[in-house]
């Protein structure tokens, strides 16, 4: 401390311009931190997001939800129906889609539902053309690109089954592109729309032993930033929802905790904070939001630390341990058969 004071005194005496510049730089950095932190706190805990009425709620508009029959996707369908949207469900199994549609219509009289069955892992051009045709004549003003796939267990790339790797890319990347491509022209024409791309912390922090999954989630962030800039002039909001673990089949987590919510409060936070960066306020990601409060705290803290290698190394160690335990469980189950 004494050395720093001595250096500053010397600079002040011999190089006053440099001293003033250093003070100004430090003051600007402090002001930036204070401003960003204030924005983060207000957006995460105080301010409401854009009203869903802006996107056609209770006006006959449709919301399309992919991966809509379970977990986060089903919860998006239910909450958007409650908000006053007709719901178009997209998933693999017709029977499950029918059941979810009936549940929504019984719970929210007056809400219409429709569905289209498609296996995004295996979908070819004709399958996507069929989906586009089913959506073409509808007033789609909300799209939730929720469908996703992760690895059966953490694995180094050389050990990842080829089919699993290809499925992850087809579901997480190709499906997002093709479904967005199908509904976007109508949104542009009507000058109204909301596109939610459900991402993952694995896209922000490169995740060893989940390399294909991590890469596809990083794609969502960049894609959302680029698309958001393209369609802002058309009144369309594009949001990459940065997500930590949520109780679901995808995460393989069954019990909620402080940092792992069930789908209902998570989806409620997403729909309540549209247009606000929340936990992503400090990072400067223009079309990213981390709306759930505990996820927001984690995202903000990680951005402040800023040394990504620390989190990469931690994630690597964590996945090594998860794989070890998963292999042991598989061995025990094999012996019991």
- pLDDT confidence band for 27 (50 / 70 / 90): confident
Is 217 a catalytic site residue? yes
DSSP β-bridge partners for residue 290: 278
Is 213 a catalytic site residue? yes
Q: Which residues contact 19 (CB under 8 A, 6 or more apart)?
A: 8, 11, 12
pLDDT at res. 337: 73
pLDDT digits (tens, 9 = 90+) for 234-259: 999 999 999 999 998 888 888 999 99
Q: Are 126 and 157 in contact (CB under 8 A)?
A: no
Alpha-carbon gap, residue 217 to 219, rounded angstroms: 5
Give kind and range of the element (H or E) at residue 143: strand 140-145
pLDDT at 56 over 90: yes
Alpha-carbon gap, residue 205 to 213, rounded angstroms: 12
What is the pTM for the complete model shown? 0.91
pLDDT at res. 11: 47
Catalytic residue, candidates 213, 244, 282, 300:
213
- pLDDT confidence band for 177 (50 / 70 / 90): very high
Q: Are 50 and 237 in contact (CB under 8 A)?
A: yes
pLDDT at res. 23: 65
pLDDT at res. 327: 95
Helices then strands, counting H and E runs in the chain, come out as 12, 7
pLDDT digits (tens, 9 = 90+) for 86-143: 999 999 999 999 999 999 999 999 999 999 999 999 999 999 999 999 999 999 999 9
Tokens of 334: 């094999």
Residues 326-334 have a mean pLDDT of 91
Rounded to 5 degrees, what angle do the CA atoms 192, 111, 265 make? 75
pLDDT digits (tens, 9 = 90+) for 203-232: 999 999 999 999 999 999 999 999 999 999
Pairing of strands 236-241, 86-91: unpaired
Tell me the Ramachandran region of residue 245: left when phi exceeds 0, alpha when psi lies from -120 to 50, beta otherwise: beta
- Percentage of the chain beyond pLDDT 70 is 93
Q: Is the dihedral of CA 253, 255, 256, 257 positive or negative?
A: negative
Integer-rounded Cα radius of gyration of the chain: 23
Residues 47-62 have a mean pLDDT of 97
What's the mean per-residue pLDDT of the chain? 93
Between 241 and 25, residue with greater pLDDT: 241
Residues 71-95 have a mean pLDDT of 98
Tokens of 198: 């459900």
Catalytic residue, candidates 217, 282, 292, 300:
217
Q: Are 210 and 167 in contact (CB under 8 A)?
A: no
Residues 175-195 have a mean pLDDT of 98
Between 266 and 2, residue with greater pLDDT: 266
Q: Which residues contact 199 (CB under 8 A, 6 or more apart)?
A: 217, 220, 221, 224, 240, 241, 242, 243, 288
pLDDT at 202 over 80: yes
pLDDT at 22 over 70: no
SS3 202: helix
Alpha-carbon gap, residue 118 to 133, rounded angstroms: 13
pLDDT at res. 335: 85
Alpha-carbon gap, residue 56 to 33, rounded angstroms: 37
Helix axes 16-45, 2-14, angle to 10 degrees: 120
């Amino acid at each position: 401390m004494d050395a720093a004071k001595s250096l500053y005194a010397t600079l002040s005496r011999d190089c006053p311009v440099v001293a003033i510049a250093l003070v100004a730089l430090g003051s600007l950095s402090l002001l930036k931190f204070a401003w960003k932190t204030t924005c983060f706190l207000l957006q995460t805990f105080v301010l409401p997001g854009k009203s869903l009425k802006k996107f056609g709620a209770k006006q006959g508009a449709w919301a399309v939800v992919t991966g809509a029959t379970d977990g986060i996707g089903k919860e998006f369908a239910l909450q958007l129906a409650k908000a006053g949207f007709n719901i178009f469900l997209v998933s693999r199994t017709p029977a499950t889609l029918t059941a979810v549609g009936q549940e929504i219509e019984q719970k929210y009289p007056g809400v219409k539902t429709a569905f289209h069955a498609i296996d995004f892992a295996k979908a070819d051009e004709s399958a996507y053309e069929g989906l586009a045709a089913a959506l073409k004549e509808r007033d789609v003003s909300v799209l939730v690109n929720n469908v996703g796939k992760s690895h059966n267990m953490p694995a180094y790339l050389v050990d990842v089954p080829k089919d699993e790797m290809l499925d992850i890319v087809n579901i997480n990347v190709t499906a997002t592109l093709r479904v967005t491509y199908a509904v976007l022209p109508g949104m542009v024409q009507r000058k109204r729309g909301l596109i939610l791309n459900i991402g993952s912390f694995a896209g922000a922090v490169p995740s060893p032993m989940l390399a294909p999954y991590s890469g596809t989630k990083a794609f969502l962030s960049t894609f959302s930033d680029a698309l958001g800039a393209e369609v802002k002039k058309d009144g369309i909001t594009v949001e990459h929802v940065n997500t930590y673990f949520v109780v679901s089949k995808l995460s393989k987590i069954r019990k909620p905790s402080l940092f792992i919510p069930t789908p209902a409060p998570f989806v409620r936070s997403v729909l309540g904070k549209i247009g606000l960066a929340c936990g992503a306020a400090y990072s400067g990601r223009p079309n990213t939001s981390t709306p759930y409060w505990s996820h927001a705290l984690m995202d903000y803290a990680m951005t402040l630390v800023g040394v990504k290698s620390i989190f990469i190394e931690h994630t690597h160690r964590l996945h090594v341990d998860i794989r070890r335990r998963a292999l042991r469980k598989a061995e025990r189950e094999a012996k019991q058969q």
